[in-house]
Structure 1
Amino acid sequence: MVSSSIYLKLCFTFFFFWIHYGPASAQLSSTFYSSSCPKALSTIKSAVNSAVSKERRMGASLLRLHFHDCFVNGCDGSVLLDDTANFTGEKTAGPNNNSLRGFDVVDSIKSNLESICPGVVSCADILAVAARDSVVALGGSTWTVPLGRRDSTTASLSAANSNIPSPFLSLSGLISAFSSKGFTTKEMVALSGSHTIGMAKCSVYRTRIYNETNINPAYATSLKSNCPSSGGDNTLSPLDATTSTVFDSAYYSNLINNKGLLHSDQQLYSGGSGSTDSQVRAYRNNPTTFFTDFGNAMIKMGNLSPLTGTNGQIRTNCRKVNSG
């Protein structure tokens, strides 16, 4: 027989974990807007497809917005908040300042949604769906996005500066940064595959092309013409030298050929014996496996500490907290 005191403790423990961990996952649902805003997903998809057709790089920018939102206090739309006279958001943090893009696309999507379903679809959910639709628009596979996130009423400049993985991290640093968010090393390698699209500034890869030895010499030479040893900090180069506007597995082929643009990229492959080398080879050899693992890791990332229920709010303007 279990004593009454132990029974009560067990009940309390279950209740504690349910309160803290149960509702968030339980309240996110792929059909969250089926009744309240049935055209939500098609509206977001249409806007993303339009934006990507005008500039394919925008797909990578929208995907990155979702990453930089979720890695800072969870997927709550905090990255979208503008600074005000008495509020400092995350846009001026080191990883974001003059780097994040796509805010105007999000504004357009939000405006369209507010016209058909006022006060219903959160900015955080817009980011999650736009990230998925961007990958699909660039040739990647789809995944089902759980919905029902609400928007934060605050942001954290300090967390943005400390929580977003740096392009200068070592392999152990990358593993630690992703592990702190609950990701396995395999999931970290899969999520890093987002660098199969997009661009990076000279300032974040200059040290690699001039000082590192684990880089293809011809590749380094080609980059130096676009990124001098001094100056030209904002000059862009593709993260994937072969198919920078197609979501495929070429990123992993590049790593095997020592053509990772960022220091952190090439850390995933050291030549055959590193702890992540086999995973890089697996994704190079089987793009379908990469697509599946990437989608599953994105779903997991989208579940990072979402605000649900009555927490937070549904912002009517993604750039500012609702007044009143």
Structure 2
Amino acid sequence: MEYSAGRDRRSRLCCLLGVVAAVLLCLGTAASGELTDDFYDDCCPNLDRIVRARVSAAMKAEPRMGASLLRLHFHDCFVNGCDGSILLDGSNSEKLAAPNLNSARGFEVVDAIKADIERACPGHVSCADVLALAAKYGVLLSGGPDYDVLLGRRDGLVANQSGADSNLPGPDDSISDITKRFKDVGLNTTDMVVLSGGHTIGRSRCALFSNRLANFSATNSVDPTLDSALASSLQQVCRGGDGNQTAALDDGSADAFDNHYFKNLLAKKGLLSSDQILFSSADAAAATKALVQAYGADSQRFFCDFGNSMVKMGNIAPLTGSAGQIRKKCRAVN
């Protein structure tokens, strides 16, 4: 999707107050090594251009890559904080955890971005910050909002496979489980619903939703919260029992970052159970349903809130100051 400068300016203006508030929260402790929006201005002034160029090239080759980079940042921040630990190889790699195995992708793109940055300004930019910026441009170049990424993270020294298994929200989690996982990292109900809207781009494997389909589930019946026509279409996609076949998370606009995800939930077309329960579950809070309705009716509100929640998520337990290190390569510690 082509980048629209006009829409970007409108989106930035819309979110200005929210972003300024998020920035001020962090700038108050900048002197002690917290995140800022100008961290690399002197030591790596072309950082944004480098990241954007590489993400743009990757998405021209495969539009889905924007969603993959967004997911990597999300899965990084929910485990050990936003420290780039998901990028580490090894026996304890988070890549081997159930939520990431045969699912998390985009590592080669991150490697390529890091290599470009190391040639331009070696030893300055962390892999954790590369992830945060790559996610931003994955969203922006898919047609989503711009937002100011706060920078200055350093890289963790260890991965946490068990943490990835236990901390990441799952496709069959209940509302209470999902809410708790977000609360555990300092995110509230609004953050939970709006960040779930990141599923407006990307795809999911049949293994993660086929239990909702007739002929695949133990009850041999379609999930009543799933639109029957969509269920029939998904049965064809997943026919043969190949759990690695994929379907669009957002039926109708898989590669476009928009508010169609929320419109889908209103029409029982959420692909994952953990998406649809935000609106359809009997346990869903009134506030959760109200947010789904609000974002489905107002894409500008969704864009504004999404950018603000991304800034907030990106500030989950970052390593700063002398903690951690700046990895030379993202797959291994120095």
TM-score (norm: length of structure 2): 0.86
Identify the residue that residue 126 of structure 1 maps to in structure 2. 130
Identify the residue that residue 54 of structure 2 maps to in structure 1. 47
Output the CA distance in 2 between the equivalents of 1:279 and 1:208: 24
Identify the residue that residue 137 of structure 1 maps to in structure 2. 141
Task: Check conservation: 2:30, 2:36, Cα contact below 8 A.
Answer: no
- Pairing 1:277–2:277 present: no
TM-score (norm: length of structure 1): 0.89
Residue of 70, 75, 78 corresponding to 2:85: 78
Output the CA distance in 2 between the equivalents of 1:205 and 1:58: 21
The one-letter code of the counterpart of 2:223 is E
The one-letter code of the counterpart of 2:126 is S
State the identity %. Answer: 49
Output the CA distance in 1 between the equivalents of 2:31 and 2:98: 30
Deviation at 1:24, TM superposition (A): 9.4
Task: Check conservation: 2:33, 2:321, Cα contact below 8 A.
Answer: no
Output the CA distance in 1 between the equivalents of 2:213 and 2:60: 32
Identify the residue that residue 88 of structure 1 maps to in structure 2. 92
Change (3 A) 1:207 1:105: same
Identify the residue that residue 70 of structure 2 maps to in structure 1. 63
Identify the residue that residue 254 of structure 2 maps to in structure 1. 244
Spell out the pairing of 1:93-112 with structure 2 (5 A cutoff).
93-112=97-116
Deviation at 1:165, TM superposition (A): 0.4
Output the CA distance in 1 between the equivalents of 2:76 and 2:43: 25
Aligned length: 298
Over residues 183-240 of structure 1, what are the superposed CA-to-partner deviations in whole Å (9 max), with x where a residue is unaligned? 1111100000000000000000001123411111111001000113x62110000000
Change (3 A) 1:271 1:316: closer
Unaligned runs of 5+ in 2: 1-27, 215-221
SS in 1 for 2:247: strand
Task: Check conservation: 1:256, 1:271, Cα contact below 8 A.
Answer: no
Q: Which has the larger radius of gyration?
A: 1
- Pairing 1:222–2:233 present: yes
RMSD of aligned residue pairs (Cα, Å)? 1.7
- Pairing 1:305–2:317 present: yes
Identify the residue that residue 165 of structure 1 maps to in structure 2. 169
Deviation at 1:27, TM superposition (A): 2.1
Task: Check conservation: 2:205, 2:245, Cα contact below 8 A.
Answer: yes
Output the CA distance in 2 between the equivalents of 1:237 and 1:80: 25
SS in 2 for 1:121: coil
The one-letter code of the counterpart of 1:74 is G
Output the CA distance in 2 between the equivalents of 1:132 and 1:199: 18
Task: Check conservation: 1:24, 1:308, Cα contact below 8 A.
Answer: no
Task: Check conservation: 2:226, 2:268, Cα contact below 8 A.
Answer: yes
- Pairing 1:258–2:268 present: yes
Identify the residue that residue 18 of structure 2 maps to in structure 1. none
The one-letter code of the counterpart of 2:89 is D
Output the CA distance in 2 between the equivalents of 1:27 and 1:39: 21
Output the CA distance in 1 between the equivalents of 2:33 and 2:307: 20
Task: Check conservation: 2:33, 2:320, Cα contact below 8 A.
Answer: no
Change (3 A) 1:57 1:274: same
SS in 2 for 1:237: strand
Identify the residue that residue 160 of structure 2 maps to in structure 1. 156
Task: Check conservation: 1:24, 1:306, Cα contact below 8 A.
Answer: no
Change (3 A) 1:149 1:253: same
Output the CA distance in 2 between the equivalents of 1:72 and 1:28: 19
Superposition misfits of 4+ residues, deviation over 4 angstroms = 21-26, 271-274
Deviation at 1:81, TM superposition (A): 0.4
**Which deviates more, 187-196 or 173-182?**
173-182
Identify the residue that residue 182 of structure 2 maps to in structure 1. 178
Spell out the pairing of 1:181-192 with structure 2 (5 A cutoff).
181-192=185-196
